[in-house]
Structure 1
Amino acid sequence: MKNGSNMASLPAWLRLALIMMAMALLPLQAQGQVPARFYWKSLVGANGTPIIFNSLSGNTNPFDPSHQVLPGGAVDATLAIAGYARTFALGERSAMAAILAPMGRVSGEVTVAGKSFNKAANGYGDPLLEFDVNVIGPTAQRIIPDILRYEPGFSLDLLADLAIPLGQYDSSQPLNLGQNRWYGRLGAPMVVQFGPWVPGRRTTLELLPAVWFFGKNTDFVGQTLKTDPLFQLDAHLTRDLTESFWGALDATYYEGGKSRINGVGGKKLNNFGFGLTFGYQINENLNLTVGYKSTLAQAASADPRIDTFMMTLVFGWHPLLEGARRLKEAQ
């Protein structure tokens, strides 16, 4: 009998299945910033639990996906997110459901409606629910041979997110972890495969066009905050560097999302952000992702300035694959 769980000792098909499972369960970044390879598909019944750490700074509240600019603001935040994701099948199509619970702290000096605030808040943000289903691409992977045959080719999903306004909120200040309003998005994640689908040689272009919708906050420092819908486009060009190490060039575009406080309008967004992400499969269950992203903005302008460093650990498992691994190790 052999002991241990050295991934190199596992057969190639099992290594591939475990890597694909963990990569397919990478979580959402803070407030809808989607990492590369999130919408790759995996075996039905896979589970994942992420722990995400973000360090953010700029002139917007990083807990607010509307990216409302706080003129002259200097905001710093530490954001941690814990969650759970599971893959399943809807008919012949792959689907996934996830829940994410943000927590952390935010502080800064901002001016809202002519009043200056120097405040800090900590606690829990608004929990986020996500549902995703594939509509074009390979059918759901129900057995291990389906993983070996999987190639995304061109894949198209339909996506829906909903944030529930349960986070900590203080109406006397503009910086909060909860947003005191419902919000969510509808999107269409796409994956385009280039070249062979061989570990160590995989290349993809991934796009996520989405529209965010925001309810009213009727008690935003004693006033009413309304936000127009915000269009957001995330793009990633990814490439395997080894069988278990990959990198991605990231870009984001924002359009719209004009905010109004008691009917007085701000500036709508029309901005780009760029970044870099690296991912590494530590072992058969654990995946590490590290990334940095920054918006393009002039320091004195009304454009959103957001600098984000993110580190993510995802523990993924599947009863079928765990059983196959234990059988192999017992031989």
Structure 2
Amino acid sequence: MFAVPYAFLSLAFSMCAGMSSGSRPGRGCLCRRAIRSILAATALALGMLAGAQAQDIEPRAYSNAPVGVNFLIAGYAYTEGAVPFDASLPVKNAQLKTSNAVLAYARVLDLWGMSGKFDAIVPYTWLSGTAELRGETVERIVDGLADARFRLSVNLYGAPALTLNEFRNYEQDLIVGASLQVSVPSGQYDNNRVVNIGTNRWSFKPEVGISQAIGPWTLESQAAATFFTDNRDFFGGNTRSQAPIYSLQGHVIYGSRNGVWGSLDVTYFTGGRTTLNGVEGDDLQQNWRVGGTLAFPVDINNSVKLYASKGVSARTDNNYDLIGIAWQYRWGAGL
């Protein structure tokens, strides 16, 4: 069972942070040119999941933006490396490559006077590679839709719901937010195969985040837990359960006056031990990843983001490398 990059959308939210920090020509009303640059600089955060969305690296996930702004996001990510398997299965030395295309939509909402966002994402993956199964090298080549995801987030403090005109006077200080992401078992799945694009189960990821602006710098931190339903048709009719995965991530972000921003990112996650037909596996995850992001505006409606991340430590030897690009188009709210 394999999970593809899903945080393509996460930084559609970062539009908010792009508007509220890192571009501060002075207090009071921002000039129209500065607002356009800031709006154009907000791109979507890309990250990677291997085995669980706990590995997402998402700078600017909690931030503010004018109510009514819409985002259309298209992205591509390439990954190479190992994939986590149930330890009770005779699978070793897995080396897989994936090409991942993502189409997503997000919208900024007014939730009882607080800014919020809703997003939906539909990924498509091409996967190929080899592994040792019962002592023999086997090859897997497959493509198809991955599990769709939906998320609702709300900024509980420091980011009120604002119109575009009201937003011109807004400057970020401290923001506290929360979100809930749901993964739907809609992707390609074959119960006769160990490696699949879809997971054949639901997952639920509540998260809280803090974002503090300090001049052109923004410091962020997020904490999350991912809960899974059972896969009752795993590899020939087995029942596979997985314990929750707990994750922490941090970001140091710098935004320039022309709307370009970059971040250094790190995430740690632990948990996720699996159980197959009641037998607990030796696959507790304790992993570290680091990454970087560079986003820049094209015009008021379009922006581009480049990103990369790398596993630096993994108890279960499931590190992988990721590199990608994303394009974002914005409209609505009077832009």
- Do these two structures clear the TM 0.5 threshold for a shared fold by scoring above it? yes
Which structure carries more relative contact order (alpha carbon 8 Å, separation 6+)?
2
Who is 1:136 aligned against?
157
CA contact (8 A) 2:126 2:143 kept: yes
1:48 aligns with 2:62: no
Residues 200-241 of structure 1, C-alpha deviations (whole Å, 9 max, x = no match): xx2101111111111111122112221110011121100024
Who is 1:245 aligned against?
260
Query: 2: CA distance between counterparts of 1:229 and 1:135?
Result: 25
CA contact (8 A) 1:21 1:43 kept: no
Give structure 1 regions of 4+ aligned residues with deviation exceeding 3 angstroms.
15-25, 27-32, 111-117
3-state SS, counterpart of residue 16 of structure 1: helix
Deviation at 1:29, TM superposition (A): 3.6
CA contact (8 A) 1:280 1:289 kept: yes
Who is 1:235 aligned against?
250
- Correspondence 1:1-331 to 2 at 5 A: 13-23=31-41, 26-27=44-45, 29-31=47-49, 32=53, 33-60=56-83, 71-111=92-132, 117-144=138-165, 146-195=166-215, 202-222=216-236, 223-262=238-277, 263-297=279-313, 302-321=316-335
Amino acid at match of 1:89: D
Deviation at 1:276, TM superposition (A): 1.2
3-state SS, counterpart of residue 72 of structure 1: strand
CA contact (8 A) 1:24 1:39 kept: no
Deviation at 1:104, TM superposition (A): 1.7
Deviation at 1:111, TM superposition (A): 4.6
Query: 2: CA distance between counterparts of 1:311 and 1:138?
Result: 28
Query: 2: CA distance between counterparts of 1:210 and 1:186?
Result: 6
Residues 80-134 of structure 1, C-alpha deviations (whole Å, 9 max, x = no match): 1101000010121001000000102112223568786421210101110010011
Query: 2: CA distance between counterparts of 1:49 and 1:18?
Result: 17
Structure 1 pair 92–287 and aligned structure 2 pair: CA distance change class (3 A): same
Structure 1 pair 57–124 and aligned structure 2 pair: CA distance change class (3 A): same
Aligned residue pairs, count: 297
CA contact (8 A) 1:106 1:175 kept: no
CA contact (8 A) 2:63 2:155 kept: no
Query: 2: CA distance between counterparts of 1:173 and 1:115?
Result: 15
3-state SS, counterpart of residue 258 of structure 2: coil
Query: 2: CA distance between counterparts of 1:257 and 1:236?
Result: 24
Residues 130-159 of structure 1, C-alpha deviations (whole Å, 9 max, x = no match): 100111113111241x22222221111110
Amino acid at match of 1:293: S
TM-score (normalizing by structure 1): 0.82
CA contact (8 A) 1:291 1:311 kept: yes
CA contact (8 A) 2:292 2:308 kept: yes
Runs of at least 5 residues in structure 1 that lack an aligned partner in the other structure: 1-10, 196-201, 322-331
Query: 2: CA distance between counterparts of 1:230 and 1:168?
Result: 23
CA contact (8 A) 2:110 2:161 kept: yes
Structure 1 pair 135–28 and aligned structure 2 pair: CA distance change class (3 A): farther
Query: 1: CA distance between counterparts of 2:260 and 2:131?
Result: 41
Deviation at 1:249, TM superposition (A): 0.6
Structure 1 pair 114–227 and aligned structure 2 pair: CA distance change class (3 A): farther
Query: 2: CA distance between counterparts of 1:247 and 1:286?
Result: 17
CA contact (8 A) 1:162 1:183 kept: yes
Structure 1 pair 27–292 and aligned structure 2 pair: CA distance change class (3 A): closer
Structure 1 pair 221–119 and aligned structure 2 pair: CA distance change class (3 A): same
Residues 142-183 of structure 1, C-alpha deviations (whole Å, 9 max, x = no match): 241x22222221111110000111111111112211110001
Query: 1: CA distance between counterparts of 2:180 and 2:276?
Result: 27
Query: 1: CA distance between counterparts of 2:69 and 2:101?
Result: 23
Residues 272-308 of structure 1, C-alpha deviations (whole Å, 9 max, x = no match): 111111111111111111111111137xx63321211
